[in-house]
Amino acid sequence: MLTKLHQLRNTINKRLVQSPFVVTCFLKSRRLYSNVDDFVKKMCGKKPVLYLLEYHVTEHCNMNCKSCFHFSNLVKDVEFGDFQQYTHDLKRLATLFSNIKNIHLMGGEPLLNSDLPQFIHATKRAFPKTTIHILTNGILIPKMSEDLIAAIGACDVQMRVSIYKPMIKKREEVIRFLTKHRIKHWVSDPYLHFAKYLNPKGNSNPKKAISGCPASRCTFLNNGQIARCALPFNIKYFNQHFEKSINMEKDRIDLHDKALDGFRLKKQLLKPLGACRYCKKVQWIPWEQSKKRDRSDVALDDFYSNI
């Protein structure tokens, strides 16, 4: 009965995420609110507010899902975020925005980074009013250090746990641990499907592609640069693994460009990317895990949408 309920919820969520109408309505309503809010703040001489910022504290992952949206399963070496660069970028963001409502510390698997407490404290110092979310697959939650638990509590961090097949039986254990340590959390129902979305021809209409894209509302920070989503940065892992040469450097905005202010940056982040030419309608496929260390069991078809 529970399995059927989880499948029903997943089906509903998938249809909402892949519905161009729902996504477009959401984006238009948020843009309208943002435009009105920006107008009022500009008239009052205040800085704008950014809704969401995502940052990879870890690039690699211990789950290695095929069709990983951020290509974390293709990262061959241990790669962590540069803490000094991150704090430098946060200071710059604080000059551009009065607040960032939500900041996602993610990956890859963020709990693989032993310096995660430092990233949490630095984030809260830069933006005291932000809500920090840690996005994790939950494998390492029962092994979280006391320093990490303390940082999560002190900074009022929320844990967002995505449950995949290997963790279904441990879901309740994860919930008990988080509850015991009084950590705010959201734990998903099991994800039985994954999405693939790449268009190998690179000939999609950017405006149409963005209307049905579940990542079109994810502002992504990476080493002094920022973009509407993670694709312009993480495509390098796809290129390296499959020996491709897809170039998306023009879609990255120099965060430290002195000509930028918060309003101008937000306007740029609303525009469709050139990278959107490589995205098409999401195709849902059964969730699978890459089992070979060299990822030789991962194929181009695991990322190319056939819809």
The rounded distance, in Å, linking the Cα atoms of 165 and 287 is: 8
- Name the pairing type of β-strands 220-222 and 49-56: parallel
Judge whether residue 51 has pLDDT over 70.
Answer: yes
Contact (CB, 8 A) for 20 and 189 = no
Judge whether residue 14 has pLDDT over 70.
Answer: no
pLDDT tens-digit profile of 22-42?
A: 656 655 666 666 667 776 777
* pLDDT value of position 208: 83
* pLDDT value of position 210: 80
pTM for the full predicted model:
0.88
Residue 128 binned pLDDT confidence (cut-offs 50, 70, 90)? very high
Answer left, alpha or beta for residue 240, where phi above 0 means left and psi between -120 and 50 means alpha.
Answer: alpha
Mean pLDDT of 210-229: 86
Residue 45 binned pLDDT confidence (cut-offs 50, 70, 90)? confident
Percentage, residues of the chain above pLDDT 70: 86
For 36, the enclosing helix (H) or strand (E) is helix 20-43
Judge whether residue 158 has pLDDT over 70.
Answer: yes
Residue 217 binned pLDDT confidence (cut-offs 50, 70, 90)? confident
| Burial (Cβ within 10 Å: 0-12, 13-18, ≥19) of residue 78 | exposed
* pLDDT value of position 20: 56
- Name the pairing type of β-strands 253-254 and 184-187: unpaired
pLDDT tens-digit profile of 245-271?
A: 999 999 999 999 999 999 999 999 988
Least confident of 61-75, 111-125, 159-173, 281-295: 281-295
Judge whether residue 276 has pLDDT over 70.
Answer: yes
Give the domains, in start order, of the chain with CATH numbers: 2-302 (3.20.20)
Dihedral Cα 119, 121, 126, 128, nearest 10 deg: 130
> If we measure between CA atoms, which residue out of 250, 201, 261, 247 comes closest to residue 228?
250
Mean pLDDT of the chain: 90
Mean pLDDT of 100-111: 97
Mean pLDDT of 166-176: 97
Mapping DSSP to helix (H, G, I), strand (E, B) and coil, where does residue 231 land?
helix
Least confident of 101-110, 208-217, 274-283: 208-217
Dihedral Cα 99, 27, 232, 201, nearest 10 deg: 180
Judge whether residue 15 has pLDDT over 60.
Answer: no
For 200, the enclosing helix (H) or strand (E) is none
pLDDT tens-digit profile of 187-203?
A: 999 999 999 999 999 99
Query: Which two structure tokens, joined as six digits, stand for 214?
Result: 């579940």
DSSP state for residue 251 in the 8-state scheme: G
Residue 207 binned pLDDT confidence (cut-offs 50, 70, 90)? confident
The residue ranges of DSSP E strands in 180-294, in sequence order, are 184-187, 193-198, 220-222, 225-227, 253-254, 279-286
| Tokens 């990542």, located at residue | 215
The residue ranges of DSSP E strands in the chain, in sequence order, are 49-56, 99-106, 131-136, 158-161, 184-187, 193-198, 220-222, 225-227, 253-254, 279-286
* pLDDT value of position 10: 52
* pLDDT value of position 213: 74
